[in-house]
């Protein structure tokens, strides 16, 4: 009979867990995110090395469906410093790896007018580069003002609670 020692079993993987590389903070401010998916990416070796160095930008990125495949466009992964003639183009098109039924859901939802696919974050999960993409609809300016007002109100509530706690 096996006895549980409470220790975690070593899986032999170097990067167990999730390590964030880049995040698109502006996306949650500019868009209403309806649904999200995690996708793998087809990358070249120098791209993976540049990502391991923690260098990437999702600022102008977007995804789209072409010929039944999902492609990620306009994200910037800079050239690897120690790369040679095998280096990659920084803003090249990258194929996303998703299950067929996930792609069908994305196609059905993104064909409606006003919806777009945007990358939300780029990270390593168990040693593999992943991107989180979201189905998004643009916010109007009054939605953005409401979000700012809500955030400021929460911040003031926290300050008031902290001040009250200090007085005791």
Task: Quick: pLDDT tens for 5-33.
Answer: 544 454 545 545 788 888 888 888 788 88
**Phi, psi (5° rounding) for residue 105?**
-65, -40
Q: Are 62 and 117 in contact (CB under 8 A)?
A: yes
For the domain covering 18-139, report its CATH number.
2.40.280.10
Strands 69-73, 94-97: pairing is antiparallel
Closest CA to 109 of 136, 130, 128: 136
Hey, where are the domains in the chain? 18-139
Q: Is the whole-model pTM more than 0.75? A: no
Q: What's the chain's average pLDDT?
A: 81
pLDDT given at position 132 = 92
Low-confidence ranges of the chain (pLDDT < 70): 1-16, 83-84, 89, 168
Our CA angle for 144, 136, 42, nearest 5°, is 130
pLDDT given at position 127 = 85
Cα–Cα distance measured from residue 158 to residue 161, given in angstroms and rounded to the nearest whole number: 5
Q: Are 146 and 44 in contact (CB under 8 A)?
A: no
- Where do the H-state alpha helices sit in the chain? 25-30, 45-52, 100-110, 141-167
């Amino acid at each position: 009979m096996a006895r549980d020692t409470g220790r975690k079993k070593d899986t032999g993987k170097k990067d167990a867990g999730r390590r964030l590389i880049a995040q698109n903070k502006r996306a949650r401010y500019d868009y209403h995110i309806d649904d999200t998916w995690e996708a793998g990416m087809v990358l070249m070796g120098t791209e993976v090395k540049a990502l391991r160095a923690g260098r990437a930008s999702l600022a102008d990125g977007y995804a789209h469906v072409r010929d039944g495949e999902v492609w990620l466009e306009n994200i910037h992964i800079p050239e690897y410093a120690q790369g040679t003639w095998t280096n990659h183009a920084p803003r090249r098109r990258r194929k996303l790896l998703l299950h067929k039924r996930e792609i069908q859901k994305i196609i059905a939802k993104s064909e409606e007018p006003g919806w777009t696919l945007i990358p939300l974050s780029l990270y390593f999960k168990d040693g593999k580069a992943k991107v989180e993409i979201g189905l998004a609809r643009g916010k109007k300016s009054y939605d953005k003002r409401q979000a700012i007002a809500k955030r400021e109100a929460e911040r003031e509530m926290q300050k008031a609670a902290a001040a009250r706690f200090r007085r005791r």
